[in-house]
Homo-oligomer: A and B are copies of this chain.
Amino acid sequence: MNIGEAARRSGVSAKTIRYYEGIGLIPAAGRTRSGYRAYTANEVETLRFIQRARSLGFSVDEVGALLELWRDRSRASADVKAIALRHVGEIERKIAELDSIRRTLLDLTTRCCGDDHPDCPILDRLASEVG
C-alpha cells in the first residue's frame, strides 16, 4: 500500500513517516517501480506501535528502544519497565512543576481584580518577586 494509506491506517502522517525513515527510526520502505514507497500490514503495525508510544509521551529515542525490545523475543520485561518508570518519573516532575506554577498563578489572578485600573498583583510579582 502507498504511504497515504499507511498514514491513514496508522495515524502517523505521511510526512512524519518519511521523517521517521529519514532519522532511521524505521527501515526504508520498499519501492514500487515508479519510486513510490510501499508498505505491508506489518509495517503499518509498527507505525501504530510508534504512534501509541509517542502519544504516551515517549521521546523518539525511547520509542526506538521500545521498538527494539518489542522485536527482541529474548528481551527482559525489566528493561521495558525501566524505560516506562523513568518516563513516569519525568512526567511526575513535569506535573509537579506545572502544578506549582498553576497554584502561583491562581493565587495572583484571584488577587487581581481585573478591571480597568492599572493596579495588578500579577505585574507586581513579576516586577519584584514578592507579591
Interface string of A70-97 (1 = CB under 8 A from B): 1011111110111011011001101100
**Pair B70/A123 contact, Cβ less than 8 Å:** yes
- A59 on the B face (CB < 8 A): no
- A113 on the B face (CB < 8 A): yes
Q: What is the count of identical protomers in the complex?
A: 2
B contact residues around A114 at 8 Å (CB)? 77-78, 80-82
Q: How far is the CB of A45 from chain B (nearest CB, A)?
A: 7
* Chain A interface residues (CB < 8 Å from chain B): 45, 48-49, 52-53, 56-57, 66, 69-70, 72-78, 80-82, 84-85, 87-88, 91-92, 94-95, 98-99, 101-102, 104-106, 108-109, 112-120, 122-123, 125-127, 129
